[in-house]
Structures are given as C-alpha cells and as structure tokens.
Amino acid sequence: MQVSVRLVEPGEYSLLARIGRETFYETWKDYNTPEDMQTYLLDAFDEEKIKKDLENRDVNTFLFVFANEEPVGYAKIRRDRTYDEFKDAKVIEVERIYIYQAFQKQQAGKALMEESLRIANAEKNEWIWLGVNIDNHKAINFYKAYGFEIFGSKMFKLGDAEDEDYLMKLKLH
Ligand SMILES: CC(C)(COP(=O)(O)OP(=O)(O)OC[C@H]1O[C@@H](n2cnc3c(N)ncnc32)[C@H](O)[C@@H]1OP(=O)(O)O)[C@@H](O)C(=O)NCCC(=O)NCCS
C-alpha cells in the first residue's frame, strides 16, 4: 500500500467532515446510544463548523492520509489549548487521528503521526499532547509506541454519557 500525507485544502471541508463523521462513527458506535451518537455527529462534524476550523489556520492544521490515492484518514492538530503541567512552555495538541478500520495497521496512522511530529518540531514546540479514552487500548498503545506518557486525565461528554480520557504527552527536541 502506497501511503502519503498532505495538508487538507480549505475547499475540502465537505470531504473532511464526511471522513471525520464516518471514522468517528465506526470507532465509537458500540459504546454510545444511537441518539447520543447522532447528536454528537451532527454537531462535531457540521460542515460549516469544519469549514471555519479549516479557515482558522493559525490554530488548526488538518492532514489527510491517502492509501493508493484514496483518502483513508485524517489528523487534526491544534494550538490553542494547554495544561498547567506545561507551565509556559510552547505546546501543540493532536486532537484527532482517525483511520478507517479497513485501512488500519497498514502504516497510515504512522504517516499521520510522523507528519504531526515533524510539524510540532518545526514550530519549535516543547511538548506535544493529546487526550485518549481510557479504554481505547489500541490507540494508547499506538501513542506509547511513539514515546507518549500518561500525565493525567479529564472527563469527556458525549450526549448524556460521561467518559474519561487519559492525557498523554511527549517531549519534543
Ligand atoms: C490508533 C490508529 C490511529 C493507529 O493507526 P494505524 O494506521 O492502525 O497504525 P499503523 O499501522 O500506522 O501503526 C504504526 C505503528 O504504531 C504502532 N502501533 C499501531 N497500533 C498499535 C497497537 N495496537 N499496539 C501497539 N503498537 C501499535 C506500531 O509500532 C506500528 O508500527 P509497525 O506496524 O511497524 O509495528 C488507528 O488504529 C485508528 O484510527 N483507530 C481508531 C480511531 C482512534 O481510536 N483514534 C484515536 C482517538 S484518540
């Protein structure tokens, strides 16, 4: 499989919203009620919202990953959130990294992570951090493989259900 990564173009908000919606649904459908899931999908992947997020380029960077020219996942990097843990250090967040199930374990996630780390380093961040559901062992192990360590946790709300995310961090060079 030929894997490549590039920035999402501003005009690609519709495709980005669709991939965001579909990969989120695939990942979490068995853990939430259909009502909660529907409400979340409509809100989080609303096309106008995604378009605004894409246009807010100082804060957000979106990456697509392609397998043989077909988009199979994406990542969202953001620069507007931090934790006391990092004091005044410059930090960056990987808010989302999602690959369609049919294309997982074929180095697409790796390609997104490597590009995210390249960007984080190029912008001279001291830390990169993320939140991940405490039961999402696949993703936790994926992040650990890059050296991310757990430094705390936070609550995450999807509809009426409350869930817990680990916070993970990696020191950059
Ligand atoms: C987590 C996720 C992004 C990983 O992407 P992927 O394309 O399946 O992973 P890759 O094939 O690129 O794996 C790259 C490397 O990461 C490591 N890795 C990947 N999955 C791993 C796992 N489950 N356990 C341990 N290491 C893992 C391996 O070192 C692997 O390298 P190798 O193939 O040379 O052994 C993907 O599984 C996914 O999209 N999951 C659903 C969405 C999700 O949960 N996202 C995270 C939300 S916070």
| Per-domain residue ranges of the chain | 3-171
| Any atom of ligand 1 within 6 Å of the Cβ of 145 | yes
Q: State the distance from the centre of ligand 1 to the C-alpha of 139, rounded, in angstroms.
A: 6
Q: 77 - beta bridge partners?
A: 61, 94
Residue 82 has pLDDT above 90, yes or no: yes
142 lines ligand 1 (CB under 6 A): yes
Q: What is the pLDDT of residues 85-118, one digit of tens each?
A: 999 999 999 999 999 999 999 999 999 999 999 9
CATH-assigned architecture of domain 3-171: 3-Layer(aba) Sandwich (3.40)
- pTM for the model stands at 0.95
Give every CB contact of residue 57 below 8 A, 6+ residues apart in sequence: none
How far apart (Å, rounded) are the C-alpha atoms in residues 62 and 87?
26
pLDDT tens string 21-58: 999 999 999 988 999 999 999 999 999 999 999 999 99
Rounded to the nearest angstrom, the distance between the alpha carbon of 110 and the centre of ligand 1 is 7
In this predicted structure, what is the pLDDT of residue 135?
94
